[in-house]
Amino acid sequence: MEVCLNSTYTTYVTRFDWLEDMMRVLDKKAMADFMTILWNCWNSRNNYVFNGKKEEPKDIWSRASILSKDFRIHNRLKLPMLTTQIEVRKWVKAPKDCIKINFDASITNNRIGYGVIIRDEDGFVLGGDGGLKEGQLLTEEAEWHAFDESIKIAGRLNIKGDVIFESDCAGLVNKINGQNSDLSIIGERIKDIIKAFINFRSATCVWTSRQCNTVAYFICKKMCADACH
């Protein structure tokens, strides 16, 4: 699930990026205060949704303030929790004589879109694809479908060398790399898919951040938006 959070200068793709940015600005105790307020807002929201109990903002603030004082986290420190140097996150070229295949999937209105982009060691695009599949799938199932399509596309392009598959779905990557101990249905499907790895000189699947997987992500979102292949 992606959430776009807009500030005056920055658009955040996920809520975690936003919180990480806050850690670069606030010190430990100020960040603890901030997280306490967020936690109380979340509890208040749940009370309203599930119990019909609506609270005034001042009551939420008062409870958060008391918790902060109880744990002695109301004073600011000089040093932030994370360094102010922001890591640059972007797609990285494959190692020498290696092909990198990025894939992603998106779920929208009972359909999934998938996107695949294949690039060589110089970043030159060798091929790609995008498509649509009707039906409601879980996130890992949708990502599995995109992974399956990426292998088929590599086969059509007759890629035989060293290959790195990149995905921003950590759950799927863990299942692919730990398939010997995965007895789930999707685990069995993955075992069938990775049999195609014998067609490559070597093949691995690694996790990457969403910022490093933007092309595949935009392709699959485009497929869902236009309902096309």
Neighbours of 92 (CB within 10 A): 11
Q: What is the pLDDT of residue 165?
A: 95
Joined together, the tokens standing for residue 66 give 């008391």
Round the average pLDDT of the chain to a whole number and report it.
Answer: 81
Q: What is the pLDDT of residue 119?
A: 96
122 shares its domain with 52? no
Domain that holds residue 60: 5-70
Helix/strand/coil for 126: strand
pLDDT higher than 60, residue 160:
yes
53 shares its domain with 109? no
Q: What is the pLDDT of residue 87?
A: 63
CB proximity list for 198: less than 8 A, separation 6 or greater? none
Do the domain assignments include residue 81? no
Do the domain assignments include residue 11? yes
- Domain end marker among 55, 70, 85: 70
56 shares its domain with 107? no
157 shares its domain with 214? yes
18 shares its domain with 128? no
36 shares its domain with 125? no
User: Is residue 161 within 8 Å of residue 97, measured between CB atoms?
Assistant: yes
Strand order through the sheet with 125-134: 125-134, 111-119, 98-108, 162-167, 202-207
35 shares its domain with 105? no
56 shares its domain with 138? no
114 shares its domain with 34? no
196 shares its domain with 138? yes
Do the domain assignments include residue 91? no
Helix/strand/coil for 101: strand
42 shares its domain with 142? no
139 shares its domain with 202? yes
Q: How many Å apart are CA 99 and CA 103, to the nearest integer? A: 13
Number of domains comprising the chain: 2
| pLDDT per position as a tens digit, 54-110 | 888 888 888 888 777 766 544 445 555 555 555 667 889 999 999 999 999 988 877
pLDDT higher than 50, residue 5:
no
Neighbours of 141 (CB within 10 A): 17
